[in-house]
Chain A
Amino acid sequence: MTAPANPLELVRRLAESEDNCVIYQPVMTELRHYGLDSDDLRDILCSELGEGHCFKSSPTRKYYPATVSDSYSIWINECGAKMYIKLLISGERLVITSFKKDERYA
């Protein structure tokens, strides 16, 4: 377990509205694969994700090391698997760069 660099309180607050979010295409494709949508993902971030799910925190940008990505692993019923979620906060936006099966448990 690692303490997330991006405060979960802020992640949850940003995840409440789509307007504050950026989702990368592979995340959208994977959501569709599991019959989920972005509202589900935002719901999971708001109400299920806890500090205990965070297992890695690492700088995202070579040139702007102030930005740090947090990696989470969380069981999602609809996926029937532990899912890997990677996110960061950039400015006033929550950026979700990864959502896929956590291969460490595959």
Chain B
Amino acid sequence: MPDLCSVCDTGTLTEQVVPFLLSHGSKEIMIEDHRTVCDACGAVSYVGEQISRHELAVASKIREMDGLLSADTLRRIRLKYKFRQTDLEAMLSVGPKTWTRWERGKVPQSKTADTLIRVLADDPEVARRLMQQARIDNPDAAEVFAAIDEDTKRLAEANLRTQIGLSTLDINPEDLAQRAIAAVRKARLEWREKAA
């Protein structure tokens, strides 16, 4: 006996691949939808793997329309700092399981969250500050930041040596401080380029 529709009790269900008009804000876009349709009442359902396939297709299209980072990228950013999903939920002040959901790919992050994620991905100082503000105790992430510090220090030292080496002997403390700041800035930029 074929599967009967749970809405009208009479129709039989068939699998279809049809265009699905996705409305998102003021935009509309067509996606290919794998679904199950009742031949009597037209009720649409998603059976087994059709469920995730539909959700992933919709979320990925919304990410594309809004220019948001992909779920894979979110995961890569998190792992770069060895953050746990719960760490990022606390850092971004979003509800429990929210980051987990974003990374699962079926629910896109908001544009606001996306902007902040891009900044913390790009700048370890921001990531560290958010981690401290949220009072997160994560030894693995702390180790990553220690390594970044070590790296930045090395790059800054090298940059400072170059700057001092090229300059004349008239170094005063003020000038040295300026050069040190410039060296650190350059080192941080270099680190970010390296990490990107």
* Chain A residues close to B by CB (< 8 Å): 18-25, 28, 32, 35-40, 60-64, 67, 77-78, 88, 90-91, 93, 95, 97
Contact residues of A: prevailing secondary structure: mixed
Is there an interface contact between B9 and A37, defined as CB atoms closer than 8 Å? no
Nearest to A65 among chain B residues (CB) is B9
- Using Cβ atoms and an 8 Å threshold, which residues of chain A touch B44? 24-25
Give the residue of B9, B45, B97, B101 whose beta carbon is less than 8 angstroms from that of A22: B45
Number of A-B pairs, beta carbon distance below 8 Å: 79
Contact residues of B: prevailing secondary structure: mixed
Stretch at the interface among B49-57, B130-138, B148-156, B180-188: B49-57
Give the residue of A32, A63, A90 whose beta carbon is less than 8 angstroms from that of B10: A63
Which 10 pairs from chain A and chain B are nearest by CB?
Answer: A37-B106, A25-B44, A61-B9, A19-B48, A24-B45, A95-B6, A38-B51, A22-B47, A23-B46, A62-B9
Is there an interface contact between A25 and B46, defined as CB atoms closer than 8 Å? yes
- Using Cβ atoms and an 8 Å threshold, which residues of chain A touch B49? 18-19
**Cβ proximity bits B9-36 to A, threshold 8 Å, 1 near / 0 not:** 1100000000000000000000000011
Is there an interface contact between B7 and A38, defined as CB atoms closer than 8 Å? no
Is there an interface contact between B55 and A37, defined as CB atoms closer than 8 Å? yes
- Using Cβ atoms and an 8 Å threshold, which residues of chain B touch A93? 47
- Using Cβ atoms and an 8 Å threshold, which residues of chain B touch A63? 9-10
